[in-house]
Structure 1
């Protein structure tokens, strides 16, 4: 399909989901709608860019009418100067279009510069084959904290479990005491994620669509690092202290239970420790595949076969969620480890400002070398108020 057809398909898919109504969409459908929206926006920007470049070149394709038929370079200069509304005295920085005398013979060349007209016209396919870009989802699972002013650190209390508890009391009996222990105070600071690159002035002018693609992929690369840091950053130096390395999160080693059973038990551990309900599971594609392809003693897939549901009931589901949790299948987490959590309540991404894209030709020798330096940057951190709202599960046994 060409770009217009791809855009129409994305819009149609998004419209099908929108027609269901905002209150009727599942979490998976909301994620699918976001993906259709993002892809449609990207395609529309590319179509608009090509259209703009074509209009720009069309506007400059025809030389000034006064310059047509000029017999000499002087005539050509005078005609274009007149067309520009300038006098010789005013034309301090004036340049004409390329001059070719009307008496020159047109020749067929071999495609090399200066050898006449190229015999074969090459059409450029602007749909580049770019590396795979996986969906970035970890930041969307968490809440958000926005810093303003001069603040660059969030300090907050982390409470331990309630001591004691309410109970029944006989007449005249002593009431039981409850006590919330003093919290431990934690602080999470902003970290910077950034990247830069250079292009030439000519590339920016002549291949605007390529520069746009490079910018988009640089932004993706930065957000990919953001996701990795939020999930597994080690907290050393400029690194974020990610979820998997956060002190106080719960852990479940590999046991005799099956992987699905331990994932369910991780939900229970979160509920007992915090009272929160787990809302998502992050799992590696290889681990999800092992669970998805597991079968019972009769050779039936637990999650339904490749034609219909379990034992012929219902319809097959693509990437069905485990235990009703929003199941995020991503390479962001290593094989053999899964993370179950109450993400929205347990943690939040700290941001100050948004993703910034900047460019300059004043860096180093850029101006004299016809170069432009681009950079993208953002300041983010991770706040985890309730470490026990997350359970790191070691996998390795698909079924009993």
Structure 2
């Protein structure tokens, strides 16, 4: 049927039939030549040319048949889009069919030109130019987002020597100061002090990379350096807020903080009211608050709070405030804070960070790294957190979650 795509098996059968017919023609010529040789007759030039043409045709058919047989051995391929071999195109051509019908006559020849459609294919087929197409590659590495660190910036910085940090904390003051009459005994007041001791803790992690990757990927070294330091900061922020003081954990601000307790009840109390009462609680402890720490989800809830007329209470979507604030204090958003919780306090006066080792990076060979062309990259820091006044920090529930 015209236009029908033939399978490799069908093409092989057709090629073999043509080859057999060509072989018979060669045999016939050879037998005629042998008879003339026995009779002592010279073979004419015309007969020699016809024999040569028959042999060439037979060899071309043999090559095409071999190629098809190999394809069948590999499982065959009947894909209509598969590029045809020279042998396939030759035996299917009208020129060959005419040559075959004429009994492979010397006066008739079969000739074709191999042509292929140029495509973007990358397979080993005629007309495939896909391997020459270069991909558009953006420079550098598309990095993951980085969390903005905030808690360290709230606290007073400091440096320490040795492993242990000790300080004296006033834990009580009995004030008996009074008006005194002439000649009367003056009252005595008392102060209670306590020794507080904490130690520096190490935060560390490392990467292993091959020397080849560090040499061949231009941005890899800077990416490892950036992520290494970022990892330390992420862990540090969580420890500064939530460390429970056990083992190698810091004693964080939240476990040390004072529980929220309102000085008075507010009619129809809201979340915004709670944060103002937490500021009052800190101020009554003689440590005026300097900021609020909230999870970003909770701050979004507060900003979206509306009054009875559907107006935003805290600013608005077109507000021009440079930084989030509530009751004149900055609001610090961090995912290290649990959802539905808040921490309000006097961060500069109530606590202090002491760095023993600033964040650093070291490289070297560990175990058999040298013979494996590997490099170990170590990031670490060592710090302590001093909580001077637990009552300077107020921690509680916002009440969004039942």
With the shorter chain as reference, the TM-score category is: 0.5 to 0.7
5 Å-filtered alignment, 1:248-263, equals 249-252=257-260, 257-263=269-275
Q: 1:123 to 1:165 in 2, by over 3 A?
A: farther
Runs of at least 5 residues in structure 2 that lack an aligned partner in the other structure = 1-120, 125-129
Q: In the alignment, what sits opposite 1:379?
A: 382
Q: In the alignment, what sits opposite 1:331?
A: 335
The answer as to whether partners of 1:303 and 1:320 remain within 8 angstroms in 2 is no
1:364 aligns with 2:395: no
Q: 1:142-200 CA distances to partner (integer Å, 9 max, x unpaired)?
A: 1122113xx1111112212421243333444444432212x122111011100111111
5 Å-filtered alignment, 1:11-160, equals 119-148=132-161, 151-160=162-171
Specify the SS of the correspondent of 2:371.
Answer: coil
1:303 aligns with 2:314: yes
Q: In the alignment, what sits opposite 1:56?
A: none
Aligned length: 273
Runs of at least 5 residues in structure 1 that lack an aligned partner in the other structure = 1-108, 308-314
Q: 1:113-169 CA distances to partner (integer Å, 9 max, x unpaired)?
A: xxxx95123443234332221101111111122113xx1111112212421243333
Shift of 1:391: 0.7
Specify the SS of the correspondent of 1:359.
Answer: strand
The answer as to whether partners of 1:257 and 1:397 remain within 8 angstroms in 2 is no
The 2-side partners of 1:335 and 1:197 are apart by 32
The 2-side partners of 1:375 and 1:196 are apart by 4
Shift of 1:202: 0.8
1:238 aligns with 2:245: no
Q: In the alignment, what sits opposite 1:390?
A: 393
The 1-side partners of 2:123 and 2:131 are apart by 4
The answer as to whether partners of 2:163 and 2:200 remain within 8 angstroms in 1 is yes
2:208 to 198, 211, 219: 198
Shift of 1:222: 1.4
Q: In the alignment, what sits opposite 1:213?
A: 223
Q: In the alignment, what sits opposite 1:168?
A: 179
The answer as to whether partners of 1:283 and 1:339 remain within 8 angstroms in 2 is yes
1:293 aligns with 2:280: no
Query: Which has the larger displacement, 188-197 or 166-175?
Result: 166-175
Using CA pairs under 8 Å that are at least 6 residues apart, name the structure with larger relative contact order, 1 or 2.
Answer: 1
TM-score, structure 2 as length reference? 0.63
The answer as to whether partners of 2:340 and 2:400 remain within 8 angstroms in 1 is no
The answer as to whether partners of 1:198 and 1:372 remain within 8 angstroms in 2 is yes
The 2-side partners of 1:173 and 1:232 are apart by 52
TM-score, structure 1 as length reference? 0.63
The 1-side partners of 2:146 and 2:231 are apart by 9
The answer as to whether partners of 2:345 and 2:393 remain within 8 angstroms in 1 is yes
The 2-side partners of 1:111 and 1:198 are apart by 38
5 Å-filtered alignment, 1:270-281, equals 270-273=282-285, 275-281=286-292
The 1-side partners of 2:331 and 2:123 are apart by 55
Q: 1:297 to 1:178 in 2, by over 3 A?
A: farther
Shift of 1:389: 0.9
Q: In the alignment, what sits opposite 2:127?
A: none
Q: 1:324-361 CA distances to partner (integer Å, 9 max, x unpaired)?
A: 1121011110011111111111111121131110111x
Q: In the alignment, what sits opposite 2:97?
A: none
